[in-house]
């Protein structure tokens, strides 16, 4: 059986999956007593269904056929919404007077994302700095939750701040 580490042959040799490995010399320091190789532990099933080892049951007996769902959509709806989206985007692009500025801002945004990726990669290569940054982020997240999300009044304040920022960006308010 392949469960033993040494075979009972006249020259000692390790047996592993049916192949023989040369054994160390008897006088060497690496010569040790035979070791029993155990098989891996059986997999545990977290299912509440009983497990049967007989082959008479099909393997699909644990599957739940009542939980199957199908996602369907008609091609008319998806193409219609896609056409509407493209038409809306084309209309907005045509209404822009200074297209070169928009392209410049878009290119600048792409360069900014690339540059921030390079900076984060450089910070990540410093040995202790990533863990410190994780702690800073965790601390800021905790503060933000305490300051804006924990209490009802502070949530209202956050919503008002976001609405004021939206108006400021869109230029429709103050």
- DSSP assignment of 108-172, as one string? HHHHHHHHHHHHHHHHHHSSSHHHHHHHHHHHHHHHHIIIIISSHHHHHHHHHHHHHHHHHHHT-
**0.75 exceeded by pTM:** no
78 contact partners, CB below 8 Å, separation of at least 6 = none
Q: What pLDDT does 128 receive?
A: 87
Domain ranges across the chain: 100-170
Q: For 92-142, how does the pLDDT look when each residue is reduced to its tens digit (9 = 90+)?
A: 888 988 889 999 999 999 999 999 999 989 988 888 888 898 999 999 999
Asked if the model's pLDDT at residue 22 lies above 70, the reply is no
Q: Distance between CA 62 and CA 49 in Å, rounded?
A: 7
Cα 113 from Cα 106, distance rounded (Å): 11
Residues 1-13: what's their mean pLDDT?
46
Over residues 26-81, the pLDDT tens digits come to 555 555 666 667 787 777 765 555 555 555 555 555 555 555 666 665 555 555 67
Buried b (16+ CB within 10 A) or exposed e, 71-106: eeeeeeeeeeeeeeeeeeeeeeeeeeeeeeeeeeee
Distance CA 101, CA 108 (A): 10
Between CA 13 and CA 11 the distance in angstroms is 6
What's residue 130's pLDDT?
Answer: 86
Please tell me the distance from the alpha carbon of residue 61 to that of residue 49, in angstroms, as a whole number: 9
Residue 8 has pLDDT above 50, yes or no: no
């Amino acid at each position: 059986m392949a469960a033993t580490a040494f075979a009972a042959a006249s020259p000692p040799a390790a047996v592993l999956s049916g192949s023989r490995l040369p054994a160390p010399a008897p006088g060497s320091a690496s010569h040790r007593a035979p070791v029993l190789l155990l098989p891996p532990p059986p997999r545990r099933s977290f299912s509440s269904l009983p497990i049967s080892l007989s082959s008479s049951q099909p393997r699909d007996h644990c599957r739940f056929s009542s939980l199957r769902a199908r996602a369907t959509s008609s091609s008319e709806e998806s193409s219609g919404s896609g056409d509407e989206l493209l038409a809306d985007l084309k209309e907005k692009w045509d209404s822009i007077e200074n297209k070169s500025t928009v392209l410049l801002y878009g290119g600048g945004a792409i360069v900014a994302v690339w540059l921030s990726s390079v900076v984060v990669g450089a910070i990540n290569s410093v040995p202790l700095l990533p863990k410190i940054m994780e702690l800073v982020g965790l601390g800021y997240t905790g503060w933000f939750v305490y300051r804006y999300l924990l209490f009802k009044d502070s949530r209202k304040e956050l919503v008002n701040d976001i609405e004021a920022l939206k108006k400021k960006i869109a230029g429709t308010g103050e």
